């Protein structure tokens, strides 16, 4: 693939795919925007006064929940809060400054729960209904935040928002990889990140403006903007076709062919649908993979680990979701006023202005990075992202200054190279029947490291000072090594060719359906199979298939 290939060849089918995915990219805009806004709003005097606190601190959450349970007529007492009390009551320090938004772990908790529930919705109801639920939950959480009837209400809103993120993130990413063409799957999977970055820039501008407002109108209006993308998403979804792979899984073969034709090319011959060559090949490969998985039980939970290929695939998915929290962002993003103060920048308007510059750079980085996923590849982007983070963190440790070197350079490159691939990889490497559950399990790892770094980051920063950046640099060096030695490259492959890459039983059926040998040229650094070994392995698959037994393939590597 040449650098500008994806900017050419704009057939009506490609335009149709892009219009759908740009419309659905609104799935990422609401929570991207709100996450950018809330971290600043909870530091504003007007918001603090609205909560009923005047001394600059908010009591620990346990006290607020006990108050809600003890006094039914308290402004914090709602059925939702009472029902959530046992879930929300996690350890907290006695008091914490507003610059430390400790509701973040609740957002992660909600996202974890939402991801697991969303996996069931995706498998049972489909990709579209899952995104509908996510959008409705986003509107509910926004309404609670605009009200902000008490800090416990805000915490509940953040939990609900976390649940909605699980629905929207999984829904969009899985839908995007399933309808995209193999040559631009990385780019279109990043649409929600790109548009989310633009909404983040909008958030930075709005926050900078309302930072001069001393009343409640400004912060309420800023939060209310979150209604816009969620409402637009609900308006777009009725016009969007269901994922063709989901349709085939549910036995709707004719509808599956029709959607594939609309997405990847078709003609009408005396009223009969005739798929384009590419669409027909994709359909046959999809049939082979999904039918084999369903026949051999490889669409069940156990298929995430019951073979060598399954364990390798799950290792890549879960580990890929675990690196993001170890680049120091838990300190800089969630405790940025402390870091700014350490650097001598105390004016909140200047702080918000710097945040705006960062968001502007992220808009550019997200677009370029998403496009490069299909040119340089997934593994290469991972390596660049973690490698530059390692170098920038060493520089930051040497300077003991957490602003310009990291805030501008490291974050720009991180958003360009790391963020696009981390969102899409788990959706890309799992089979159709496991995609939702595999992504949900990977999401558990993501949220687990988020909890770990959120609670440990500030004590580490206070006790280690500049050395904390050296620690995170070591984490990024470890991530770079794991990615370099173990991750495969999946660019330019159909989702079914990815099955061939990981050596699953379905992958062998795909090769047969496409007319072996497959054109896949995988690059799997530590797993190696000679041509003869692969031939023997394929024969064993055929024998096991004939006998109606499940096989767990090895990993196909470079011959």
Residue boundaries of the structural domains of the chain: 9-52+100-240, 244-296, 307-516
Contact 50, 127 (CB under 8 A): no
Would you say the CATH fold of 307-516 matches that of 9-52+100-240?
A: yes
Residue with tokens 């492959």: 493
163's tokens: 């649940």
What pLDDT, on a 0 to 100 scale, did the predictor assign at position 94? 30
Distance CA 333, CA 101 (A): 10
Distance CA 405, CA 349 (A): 20
Which residue from 546, 536, 321 is spatially nearest to 430, judged by alpha carbons? 321
Enumerate residue ranges in the chain where pLDDT < 50: 60-103, 402-407, 517-538, 541, 548-559
CATH, domain range 9-52+100-240: 1.20.1250.20
What pLDDT, on a 0 to 100 scale, did the predictor assign at position 58? 52
Residue with tokens 């399954």: 310
Greatest alpha-carbon span in the chain: 77
What pLDDT, on a 0 to 100 scale, did the predictor assign at position 551? 39
311's tokens: 């364990």
CATH superfamily ID and name for 307-516: MFS general substrate transporter like domains (1.20.1250.20)
Contacts of 559 (CB under 8 A, 6+ apart): 529, 530, 531, 534
| C-beta atoms surrounding 201 within 10 Å | 21
**E strands in 265-359:** 266-269, 272-275
Q: Classify residue 9 as exposed, middle or buried by CB count within 10 Å of its CB (0-12, 13-18, 19+).
A: exposed
| C-beta atoms surrounding 547 within 10 Å | 8
What pLDDT, on a 0 to 100 scale, did the predictor assign at position 26? 81
Distance CA 537, CA 398 (A): 52
DSSP 184: T
Distance CA 389, CA 8 (A): 33
How many helices, marked H, and strands, marked E, lie in the chain?
28, 4
What pLDDT, on a 0 to 100 scale, did the predictor assign at position 9? 81
What pLDDT, on a 0 to 100 scale, did the predictor assign at position 532? 40
Strand 272-275, strand 95-97: pairing: unpaired
Helix, strand, or coil (residue 103): coil
What pLDDT, on a 0 to 100 scale, did the predictor assign at position 513? 77
Distance CA 19, CA 109 (A): 33
């Amino acid at each position: 693939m040449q650098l500008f290939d994806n900017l050419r060849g704009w057939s009506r089918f490609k335009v149709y795919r892009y219009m759908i995915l740009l419309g659905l990219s609104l799935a990422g805009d609401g929570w991207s925007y709100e996450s950018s806004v809330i971290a600043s709003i909870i530091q504003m005097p007007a918001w603090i006064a609205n909560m009923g606190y005047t001394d600059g601190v908010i009591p620990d959450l346990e006290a607020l929940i006990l108050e809600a349970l003890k006094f039914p007529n308290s402004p914090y007492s709602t059925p939702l809060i009472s029902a959530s009390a046992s879930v929300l009551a996690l350890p907290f320090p006695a008091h914490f400054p507003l610059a430390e938004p400790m509701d973040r772990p609740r957002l992660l908790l909600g996202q974890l729960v939402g991801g697991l529930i969303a996996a069931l919705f995706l498998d049972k109801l489909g990709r579209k209904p899952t995104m509908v639920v996510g959008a409705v939950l986003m509107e509910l959480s926004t309404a609670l935040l605009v009200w902000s009837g008490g800090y416990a209400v805000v915490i509940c809103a953040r939990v609900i928002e976390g649940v909605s993120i699980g629905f929207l993130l999984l829904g969009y990413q899985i839908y995007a990889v399933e309808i995209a063409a193999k040559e631009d799957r990385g780019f279109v999977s990043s649409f929600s990140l790109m548009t989310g970055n633009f909404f983040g820039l909008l958030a930075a501008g709005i926050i900078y403006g309302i930072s001069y407002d001393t009343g409640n109108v400004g912060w309420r209006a800023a939060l209310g903007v979150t209604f816009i993308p969620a409402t637009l998403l609900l308006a777009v979804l009725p016009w969007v076709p269901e994922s063709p792979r989901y349709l085939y899984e549910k036995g709707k073969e004719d509808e599956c062919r029709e959607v594939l034709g609309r997405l990847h090319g078709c003609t009408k011959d005396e009223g009969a649908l005739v798929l384009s060559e590419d669409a027909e090949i994709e359909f046959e490969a999809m049939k082979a993979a999904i039918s084999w998985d369903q026949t051999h039980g490889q669409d069940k939970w156990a298929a995430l680990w019951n073979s060598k290929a399954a364990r390798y695939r799950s290792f890549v998915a879960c580990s890929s979701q675990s690196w993001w929290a170890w680049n120091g962002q838990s300190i800089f993003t969630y405790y940025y006023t402390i870091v700014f103060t350490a650097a001598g920048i105390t004016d909140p308007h200047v702080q918000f202005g710097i945040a705006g510059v960062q968001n502007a750079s992220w808009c550019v980085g997200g677009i370029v990075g998403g496009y490069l996923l299909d040119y340089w590849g997934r593994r290469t982007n991972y390596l660049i992202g973690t490698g530059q983070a390692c170098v920038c963190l060493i520089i930051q440790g040497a300077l003991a200054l957490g602003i310009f070197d990291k805030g501008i350079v490291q974050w720009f490159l991180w958003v360009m190279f790391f963020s696009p691939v981390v969102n899409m990889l788990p959706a890309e490497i799992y089979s159709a029947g496991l995609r939702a559950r595999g992504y949900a399990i990977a999401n558990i790892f993501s949220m687990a490291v988020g909890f770990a770094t959120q609670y440990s980051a500030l004590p580490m920063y206070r006790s280690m000072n500049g050395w904390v950046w050296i620690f995170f640099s070591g984490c990024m060096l470890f991530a770079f090594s794991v990615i370099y030695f173990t991750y495969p490259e999946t660019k330019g492959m159909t989702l079914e060719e990815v099955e061939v890459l990981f050596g699953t039983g379905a992958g062998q059926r795909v090769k047969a359906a496409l007319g072996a040998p497959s054109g896949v040229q995988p690059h799997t650094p530590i797993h190696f199979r000679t041509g003869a070994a692969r031939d023997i392995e394929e024969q064993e698959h055929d024998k096991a298939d004939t006998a109606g037994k499940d096989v767990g393939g090895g990993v196909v590597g470079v011959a």
